[in-house]
Structure 1
Amino acid sequence: MPEYIEVGEQELIAIAANQNQSRIPIIFLHGITLSVNFWTANLPPIVRENLPWYSLSLPGHYPTYYQTELLNVDMLAEVLMSAIHKLVGKQPVALVGYSAGGFVALNLAAHFPDYIKGVFCISGFSQGRWQGLLGWLQKLSQSGAMGKLLCKILCKMFMLNQALYKLASSMNAGDRQTYWNAPTLQTTVDAVYPDVIKHNLNNLVNLFECFADMDISHLLANIRVPTLILSGDRDPIIPLEHAKFLASRIPDAELIVLQGMGHMFFAERSLAYQNLLTSWIETKLCNPNQ
């Protein structure tokens, strides 16, 4: 059952499994406009069957509420870390984050190094000014009342039905043929779409604007845990050059680039992602020295 977590003026939600396992918990963080159910369609067997895992929502995503004051880097870290402590206590955790969830994972590792054991960052970033379709929507969110209204209208249009949602999302892909043919595309959309259509559009527009002002580039050197940066060389939202920048600034980082992949790893390179995450868990989290 979903668990609601109140942290000050924020409310988050988490879903979890295998909590009775004694291994290190893994916290999964979804991307902006998605939901906690994103990861239920994209877990490798080693996680789904054997490890304690938690999918934790970002602020402002259905079905939770979000105070309208603008989030900042420090507040975001404090809210998410407090939620994690309420879920698992003050034991160390591993983080797996996608896109904005990748940013959150890096931010947590920089702010709270004693509580983070490792980071698996997929198409993440340290500076929240996006490119591509999301970047365009983000610019609208920063363009006064009319820009915000147009941003909400477009978001609503993209969410009218699953076909339009998948079509809009395809603009974030680098390998669109694989994207459209992937079985994981439909299973993922089936998992998130019932939540997506209930998002508060004011919250999303606020978040677009908030992220544009967030930058943790100066904090990357504080991340001392093993960090895997997974990127595609055709990502229209977070260019490969930014992934290379992350890897160059994080002391114990490894960069893996999947050729032809854009921003939609779960449909474009699902098997490669699952194999990489499984290997990372086995080598970084499950060896006898962990």
Structure 2
Amino acid sequence: MTVTSPYSARLDRIPVAAHSVDIDGSRTRYWEYGSSGTGPTVVMVHGFRGDHHGLEPVVAHLEGLHILSPDLPGFGESEPLSTPHDIDGYATWLMAFVAALELPEPPVILGHSFGSIVVSAALARTTLRAPLVILVNPIAAPALAGPRGFLTRLAVFYYKMGAILPERLGFALLRNRVIVRVMSVTMAKTKDRSLRRWIHSQHDLYFSAFGNRAVVLEAFKASVGNDVSEFASDIVDRTLLIAADQDDITPVAAQHTLVRRFPDAELEILSGVGHLIHYEVPAEAAGLIRGFLAGEKA
């Protein structure tokens, strides 16, 4: 059953076009919202196991901006990398992707969740530069440490099993709808039943669109083996962190620690939401983004 997006009317007002670009022999698909010259260009990088659709609710509330949103290599419609899907591989890809766009000016760069690690690594370890950086639900601390470390190790085992089982069984495990639904139910904090139903439908539709099992395992290892705090001190560009007070991935205390690691950063905490800011409160996130782009202090 198709569940209508609560943000579809807004999104439908924004022109969208699909494009492809070759990055070191593999095709990256990306979507352009709005048109150049109508506002600052923002490159958006989505999170683990998702694709560009996940950030569309935020896009829907940023009418008037020029937004370029790729599928990460190995996910959605983008082909896997020819190199390992580790954090260096993704960081190098992002640098090359932005260069391939041949934009007249460096774009603002936004990363959500795992995308926040990819963006941070690219800014710290490559020649990529951005006038402004926005990290939504940033992964502020090591996932394998702290009170959730045991659950993370269980997830590592799950992804390893998905990779080593015979192909049919491995794909069935990684795309198991019950496991995807448990994940979705855990992360969603909204009490709005219709919104929760739509969030679950989005995870059902897009959470299992990956190139192959090896990509998923490599990317998962990159997502739990790295965090933004490793790279923060080397990111000189002005940065906005948009975090949540009920995030099950990174506690608020870690976000306050993280923001102090940046040379020039500010932190906004959204209340009553967890790791799905982009789904549950995209209007609030978009408002913070617009203020940041306008030069307003949080």
TM-score normalised by the shorter chain: which range applies?
0.7 to 0.9
| Distance (whole Å) between structure 2 residues aligned to residue 191 and residue 91 of structure 1 | 33
- Is 1:171 the counterpart of 2:190? The answer is no
Find the partner of 1:135 among 143, 152, 156.
Answer: 152
In 2, distance between residues paired with 1:137 and 1:9?
35
Aligned residue in 1 for 2:195: 182
Deviation at 1:193, TM superposition (A): 5.2
In terms of mean alpha carbon deviation, does 260-269 or 224-233 score higher? 260-269
**Aligned residue type for 2:157:** L
1:113: how far off? 6.7
One of 214, 217, 222 as aligned partner of 1:210: 222
Q: Alignment RMSD, CA only?
A: 3.3
> What TM-score do the two structures reach when normalised by structure 1?
0.79
Contact 1:98/1:122, CA 8 A, preserved across alignment: yes
Q: Secondary structure at the match of 2:241?
A: strand
2-structure distance, mates of 1:233, 1:200 = 33
Deviations, residues 100-152 of structure 1 (Å, cap 9, x unaligned): 1111222233235762111111111255636489835642257x557854985
For 1:8, the equivalent position in structure 2 comes to 24
The answer for the alignment partner of 2:115 in structure 1 is 101
Which residue does the alignment assign to 1:155?
174
Matches within 5 A, 1:31-110: 31-45=47-61, 47-48=62-63, 50-67=64-81, 69-89=83-103, 91-110=105-124
What TM-score do you get using the length of structure 2 for normalisation?
Answer: 0.77
Query: More displaced, 99-108 or 5-14?
Result: 5-14
Q: Unpaired runs of 5+ in structure 1?
A: 285-290
The CA distance in 1 between the partners of 2:104 and 2:203, in whole Å, is 30
- Work out the CA distance in 1 between the residues paired with 2:68 and 2:59: 11
In percent, how many aligned pairs have the same letter? 18
How many residues align? The count is 274
- Where do residues 118-129 of structure 1 align in structure 2 (5 Å cutoff)? 118-125=132-139, 129=143
Q: Report the secondary structure of 1:217's partner residue.
A: helix
Q: Which residue is 2:6 aligned to?
A: none
SS in structure 2 of the partner of residue 120 of structure 1: strand
Query: 2:12 aligns to what?
Result: none
Structure 2: gaps (5+ residues)? 1-16
Structure 1 range deviating more: 10-19 or 164-173: 164-173
**Aligned residue type for 1:248:** R
